[in-house]
Amino acid sequence: MELEPYSFGGNFSAHTFKDFLVWAVEQGASDILVQGGDHIWLEIHGRQYRATTHTIQQGHLPALIHGLWQADVEAKIRAGEGADRALELTERDGIEIRRGRALRFRCNFTQARVAGMETAFAITMRTIPDKLPKIEDQYLDPDLFGSLYPGMGLGLICGPTGSGKSTLLAAMYRHSGEAYPNRKVITYEDPIEFVLGGRHWKGPQPAQSEIGRDIPNFAAGLRNAMRRKPSIVGIGEARDLETVDAMIEASLTGHLCLATLHTESVAETINRIIQVYPPDSQSNVASRLIGALRYICIQRLLKTTDGKRTAIREYLVFDRALRAQLSETPHTQWAAMIRKLLEEANATLDDHAWKLFEKGKIDKEEFIELAGFREFKTRLAKMQIDDKRLPTKEEV
């Protein structure tokens, strides 16, 4: 794909930047990077494209921030605190967009050295579709899909930044609103990304609270949730001990709690949660955790050879039999036990990625980026033995 860079015609302002954002979304950008002293860059299907004919001067960014976001953002950047904000644009903001539609972005602001400039502003914008994704379009395994909505417990959607966790959660919330009208949904997010609800929602409209605006933090949100009689509680991210502890407690007291973590395997997720606690508390929290867990799903987005991306998932459903088996095993052995279960089932992220490589849907570099060069060579050698053939030059 080739991208013809956008020209501001020497007039970079909050108003012309809005027009640029419309253009960027039309190009299919998932992320937009604006940095003082650099061109604006778009990420499209996981690939970076230079999006402007000229670099953006650092001196123009304070006015842009004041024109589009809250006045305190610049002060937070200069203080070294950084900031996270949402941005929503509609036709009332003077942009050419169909009536009733909106452009939404999740935005991060920070200060950094850029292109030799000692202190420059860096703005990272994630495009949030204004229509909720459908669960059918996520192509979940039937076993995982059938396990998404237990009456109570803990469901974790995990993966690195940019792996589609928010999209998958939004699709899950939408399906809940359409298929389970008696389930009341509340979420705590930082910031609010997908806007839930609408005419298709058959039960009570979901209530979304934003951290810092509506509630101090995730832990406070979970304590607040216990007084609101929800069926499903969504947590943007389980970041610290207080949030994790409240999340587990909510899951054990009759609620389905959905949360995200930045982890890269099911086994790592288990360890990460337990190790948030002091050593003398870990055995007790492991018992509570295994009583709460219903599923862990790890998702990654891989660049495909057709120029797009596809999702792969490693997941484990914690049914009664597995929870009983784990409860009889020391928690220090859980990670190894889970890893072995997934490896024996050929159900790890590496396994799914290798199948795509064998089909020619991803290239060698994409597999190595996920699994590492040694894993690639090991699997290639095994394929050579199994197939009794030498690998092709393209494979090596």
Amino acid at 311: A
User: Which residues pair with residue 105 across a beta bridge?
Assistant: 87, 127
Q: Does residue 97 surpass a pLDDT of 90?
A: no
Question: Which sequence spans correspond to the domains of the chain?
Answer: 14-128, 135-352
Residue 393 has pLDDT above 70, yes or no: no
Whole-number Å distance between alpha carbons of 161 and 84: 15
Peptide bond into 191 cis (omega under 30): yes
pLDDT of amino acid 255: 94
Q: How far is CA 252 from CA 30, 153, 257, in A?
A: 36, 6, 9
pLDDT on residue 384? 77
pLDDT tens sequence across 150-173: 999 999 999 999 999 999 999 999
- How much is the pLDDT for 390? 46
What pLDDT score does 135 carry?
97
The answer to which of 18-27, 76-85, 88-97, 121-130 has the lowest mean pLDDT is: 88-97
Q: Are 255 and 246 in contact (CB under 8 A)?
A: no
Dihedral of alpha carbons 103, 107, 109, 114, sign: negative
Beta bridge partner(s), residue 56: 38
Entry pTM: 0.88
Give the per-residue pLDDT at 391: 52
CATH fold of the domain at 14-128: Beta-Lactamase (3.30.450)
Residues 25, 29, 32, 37: is their CA dihedral positive or negative?
A: negative
Identify the band that residue 388 occupies on the pLDDT scale cut at 50, 70 and 90.
low
256-261, strands of its sheet edge to edge? 207-210, 185-189, 232-235, 256-261, 153-158, 293-303, 309-317
Long-range contact pairs involving 392-396 (C-beta distance under 8 Å, separation at least 24): 394/364, 395/364
Kindly state the tokens that stand for 157. 């959607």
pLDDT of 70 reads: 84
Rounded distance between C-alpha atoms, residue 35 and residue 90, angstroms: 25
Using pLDDT thresholds of 50, 70 and 90, give the confidence band for residue 392. Answer: low
| 298-to-156, 161, 164, 245 alpha-carbon distances in Å | 8, 12, 10, 21
Q: Please determine, for residue 326, whether its predicted confidence score (pLDDT) is greater than 80.
A: yes
User: What value does the mean pLDDT of the chain take?
Assistant: 93
Can you name the CATH fold of 135-352? Rossmann fold (3.40.50)
Q: Which of the listed ranges 271-275, 381-385, 389-393 does the model predict with the highest average pLDDT?
A: 271-275
Give yes or no for residue 35 having a pLDDT over 90. yes
Q: What are phi and psi of 200, to 5 degrees?
A: -75, -15
The band of 396, judged by pLDDT with boundaries at 50, 70 and 90, is low
The pLDDT > 90 percentage for the chain reads: 85
Q: What is the pLDDT of residue 71?
A: 82
